[in-house]
Every structure is written in C-alpha cells, then in structure tokens.
Amino acid sequence: MENKQIKEYIEKTGKKYKEEYSKFVQQNAIQFYNIACVEISKIHRIQHHINIKNYYKPMEINSAFGIAQQFFNMHNIKINLKDLYDRKILVFYNDNGRRNNKYFGINFGPTSYQGYNKERGKFVDIILSKNIMDAFSIVHEVTHYLNQPNGLRNLTSDMLTEGISYGIESIFAQSLIDDNFMVEDAKLFIYNCQMEILAYAYKMAPIYRILHVYTNFKKINEKNYNKIITNGNYKNDISEFEIYLKSDRDYIRDTWNFLGKSTSTYFATEYRKDKNFVNKIIKLNDAINLMSFDYCLQLIDIRNLDDMFYKISDSLEINNLYILNGFKNT
C-alpha cells in the first residue's frame, strides 16, 4: 500500500517555496543522508570520551556585546553593533520560551532571529541567555544581517547563509580558544554544536531515506523502499516520518539548518589551518545573493556540490577528532 499521507506532506511542504527548493533537497536527499551517517558513526566516541563542563558562566549582555564587537573588529568584518542597536535594528529580548526548538531535543535554547519585513526592514532579534551564548547569537544573527537582501532570499542564499553564520560562530569559538579567553565556554560551545549536528543527523536520517524513495518513484511503499535503501527498516522510517510530520516540521528549512551546521565544521577546520580563510567567507558573504551556487562554493575552495558533500564529511570527522584530542590539532 502506498503511503499517501507522507507523499502529500512532501508535496505540500515543497509548494511553500519556489520549485527549485524542494528539487534541491529531494535530489540530494541521499547525500544529506550520507552526511548524517558519517556523523552518527563517529560521534558516540565523543559522547563517551570527553570530559567537559556542562554550563556556561553567567555574563552580562554588555560584556557579550563587547566581545562580539571585538571579534568582528579582529577579523576586519565591518559592522558597528552600537549603531545597529541605536537604530533599533538590533533588539534584545528576555527569554520567554517562544522560539524553543524542542523537536531536536538537547542543547537547543531560545532561538534568536534575523529577517526582513516591510515594517522593520532588516532586523535582528536576540533572545538573551545571560551568558556567552548571547555573544554567539549576536555574531550568528548579525552575520545573517550582513547578507540579507531587501526582500526574499534565493536558493543559493538560503542554502548558504546558515553555513556562513554557523561557520563564523565556530571561528569565533576558535578565536576565543586561541586568545586563551573564556576557553572552557568556547570548548563547551564547540562540543554542543557537534551534538546538535548529531541530533539533526538522528532525526533527519529516516526523513532523507523516505525523501530519496519519493524522488525516485514518486510512490512511497515498501517495495520501492527496498529497491534503493539498504540496511533500512521501512516500517520504522515511516513511523519516524509520521512523528516528524505531526510535529509540523519543514524538511526544507531543517535541511538548510542541517547543511549549515555541517558546513560550519568545514569553515572551522579550514580556519584552523589558515586564519586568512575568514577573508574568503567575507567574499562569499558578498556573493550569495548575486552569484551561482557553484561560483559561491569556489570562493571557499569547493569545486561543486559533490565536492561540498565530500568536504563536509571529511570535516565532520576532523572536527570530531579535534574535540576528542582535547581541542588540539592532530
């Protein structure tokens, strides 16, 4: 029997975006699944081997604000946070729980937000955690602000902006470690990021398997599933997908988050090799709304989408080893 409910959900979610969005995710579902597998197969070693504190030191927003500005200055990223704040583009809120990402569980605190609308133009809303996370949130969201067009983003922009923001956050964490400042908090942050990628990997793996079946046959049933999925469990994947669907998740949005979080490990590993890598990210930031996907990737030494998946898998492993080795390069 064909699973019509899931098929309809896949199509309905796709229609919320321009056609190229759902195509991009569906046609690359197996690649996203492969990234998830790499992450799942490596990470248990971290969970069992690492000894890390599990809370961030309290910090006033003024300090977080100052540290974020210092980070931008240090890397010649031209932004004046005080000016954004005075113009009410950058606004701070106390945590009211309204944007918690409960579906993926662990580590997901209140989520800050950057966007564009007619009333406010470009804006950045930061939900305060009163610790170093506020500095990370500012760096993440203000980096989005720097590549926000006046209006809707295109596919290239949507698929790459999270990678840039999470990547810059990872580089920020690395800079703190290199400068021997708030090192324990920075390590915890890097560790948590890796655990977040793992949470996505577990939840999204069955979703990508089913999307892969849909892409190939347009009909989701056990027979089609067994034709192209090895070592999978159809019934299990279907029930995972039903939970996903009932939680009102959006596989396109979740993919750009998962892709972004995963890509950030590439940015972090490249930065550890060569600090000037930040300049390439700044160029990428200027290009994502104007240039093609491949052109943008080439700015960061990635040849094309296949090469991107390859480099992400590689970096996930290098990043895992980096954490396992007590945050030391091998």
Which residues contact Zn ion by CB under 5 A? 162, 165
Helix intervals (H) in the chain: 4-15, 19-27, 29-49, 61-74, 81-86, 133-146, 155-178, 183-217, 222-228, 234-246, 251-273, 277-287, 293-299, 305-324
Q: At its nearest, how many Å lie between Zn ion and the CB of residue 249? A: 17
DSSP structure string for 277-321: HHHHHHHHHHHTTTS-HHHHHHHTT--SHHHHHHHHHHHHHHHHH
Distance CA 39, CA 56 (A): 25
Q: At its nearest, how many Å lie between Zn ion and the CB of residue 21? A: 17
User: Cβ closer to Zn ion: 134 or 162?
Assistant: 162
User: Cβ closer to Zn ion: 158 or 162?
Assistant: 162
Amino acid in position 276: N
Q: At its nearest, how many Å lie between Zn ion and the CB of residue 282? A: 17
The DSSP element (H or E) to which 58 belongs, if any, is none
Q: At its nearest, how many Å lie between Zn ion and the CB of residue 99? A: 12
Give me the half-sphere count of Cα atoms (radius 13 Å) on the Cβ side of residue 102: 5
Extract the tokens encoding 189: 């942050």
**How many residues does this entry show for the chain?**
330
Q: At its nearest, how many Å lie between Zn ion and the CB of residue 136? A: 11
User: Cβ closer to Zn ion: 13 or 165?
Assistant: 165
Q: At its nearest, how many Å lie between Zn ion and the CB of residue 159? A: 12
CA diameter of the chain: 60
Residues 6+ away with beta carbon under 8 Å from 39: 197, 198, 201, 262, 316
User: Cβ closer to Zn ion: 114 or 174?
Assistant: 114
User: Cβ closer to Zn ion: 143 or 175?
Assistant: 143
Instruction: Give residue number: closest CB to Zn ion.
Output: 165
User: Cβ closer to Zn ion: 162 or 270?
Assistant: 162
